[in-house]
């Protein structure tokens, strides 16, 4: 199957700026859609090439060879061997720069995000709120997602909303970093409807739903008072159970931290004597209980994450990884 123009442009954009579409690739896609992208400034034609790659096994030592007019034709001239001269068609000399902000504007408009997408950093845009109420970001290159501080920046732009990132396919290790930070990832090619009858740039919001097939990591049954983490049953005291349920309820609503005083009031009631901040002790016990029997005890302990200013804790799992059953 021939690659559609929209998929080709998205693939070329993965290299970041400048992303170039060569005339020979473009020629296959000549037509109304192509002209429209030129009109919209998504594709910007560049001056015809004046240099060309050297022959594949050449001793000329040049980085590139000049394009010269020979008998009215454009020829990439080999200084070593005339037989290696290469006659170029007009299409081959053409090239188009893909204007990444304009491409993202096209995607946002086609997907019903009316407002101008706001750039968050190089190659990363905030599109707005998706139908599932998550803050939606689009990164044209996977590397862009892992620029220093990028994950924190997206979380802060999202304010208290959960975050979905649309980006090109990434390694399992990188994916784990996103999941650990509570972000949901979906591949560009999995949700932008480039193929099919109406190739275009629209994001299919139905594809943004979280994968229902994978089991949530944390399953809590309130009535039965059972907890399992990564399929492993955990034994919790009443207080540990109560604390975990409380943090889970919060994590299902927002990734924000729960302040110590709020946790204390929940565990001991608002009217207790003002003993010094004691929430640390039940948290330690809960971490121990979660870590016991876990393959990665450190990671299990880190699920109850503490933060400063304001001092508090949160359950470091995205909502889709938590199942709270009555």
Residues that bind Zn ion (CB under 5 A): 55, 58, 60, 78, 80, 84
Nearer to Zn ion, 77 or 157 (CB): 77
Nearer to Zn ion, 34 or 52 (CB): 52
* Tokens read off for 196: 């099919």
Nearest distance, CB of residue 72 and Zn ion, angstroms: 22
Per-residue 3-state assignment (H helix, E strand, C coil) for 5-43 = HHHHHHHHHCCCCCEEEEHHHHHCCCCHHHHHHHHCCCE
Cα-to-chain-centroid distance, residue 33: 27
Nearest distance, CB of residue 55 and Zn ion, angstroms: 4
Nearest distance, CB of residue 88 and Zn ion, angstroms: 15
- Residue 17's contacts (CB-CB under 8 Å, 6 or more residues apart) are 100, 122, 123
Nearer to Zn ion, 66 or 119 (CB): 66
Q: Are 169 and 136 in contact (CB under 8 A)?
A: no
Nearest distance, CB of residue 46 and Zn ion, angstroms: 24
Nearest distance, CB of residue 70 and Zn ion, angstroms: 15
Nearer to Zn ion, 84 or 161 (CB): 84
Nearer to Zn ion, 59 or 296 (CB): 59
Nearer to Zn ion, 60 or 176 (CB): 60
Nearest distance, CB of residue 87 and Zn ion, angstroms: 14
DSSP state of 268: H
Centre a 10 Å sphere on the Cβ of residue 45 and count the other Cβ atoms it contains.
13
* Residue 33: closest CA among 93, 95, 88, 110: 110
Q: Are 54 and 64 in contact (CB under 8 A)?
A: yes
Backbone torsions φ then ψ of 153, nearest 5 degrees: -65, -45
- Whether the bond between 206 and the residue before it is cis, its omega within 30 degrees of 0, is no
């Amino acid at each position: 199957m021939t690659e559609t123009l929209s998929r080709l442009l998205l693939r070329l954009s993965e290299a970041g700026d400048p992303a170039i579409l060569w005339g020979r690739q473009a020629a296959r896609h000549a037509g109304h859609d192509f002209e429209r992208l030129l009109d919209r400034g998504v594709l910007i034609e560049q001056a015809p090439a004046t240099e060309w790659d050297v022959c594949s096994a050449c001793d000329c030592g040049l980085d590139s060879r000049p394009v010269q007019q020979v008998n009215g034709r454009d020829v990439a001239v080999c200084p070593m061997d005339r037989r290696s001269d290469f006659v170029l068609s007009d299409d081959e000399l053409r090239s188009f720069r893909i204007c990444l902000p304009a491409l993202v504007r096209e995607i946002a408009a086609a997907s019903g995000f009316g407002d101008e997408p706001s750039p968050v950093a190089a190659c990363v845009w905030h599109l707005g709120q998706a139908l599932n109420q998550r803050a939606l970001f689009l990164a044209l290159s996977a590397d862009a997602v892992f620029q220093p501080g990028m994950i924190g920046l997206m979380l802060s732009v999202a304010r208290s909303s959960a975050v979905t990132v649309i980006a090109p396919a990434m390694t399992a290790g990188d994916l784990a970093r996103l999941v650990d930070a509570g972000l949901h990832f979906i591949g560009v090619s999995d949700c932008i409807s480039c193929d099919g009858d109406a190739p275009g740039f629209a994001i299919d919001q139905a594809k943004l739903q979280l994968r229902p097939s994978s089991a949530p990591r944390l399953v809590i049954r309130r009535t039965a008072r059972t907890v399992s983490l990564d399929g492993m049953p955990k034994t919790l005291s009443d207080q540990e159970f109560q604390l975990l349920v409380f943090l889970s309820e919060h994590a299902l609503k927002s990734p924000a931290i729960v302040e110590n005083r709020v946790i204390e009031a929940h565990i001991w009631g608002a009217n207790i004597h003002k003993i010094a901040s004691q929430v640390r002790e039940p948290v330690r016990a809960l971490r121990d209980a979660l870590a016991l029997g876990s393959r990665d005890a450190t990671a299990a302990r880190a699920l109850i994450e503490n933060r400063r200013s304001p001092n508090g804790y949160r359950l470091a799992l995205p909502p889709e990884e938590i199942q709270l059953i009555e």
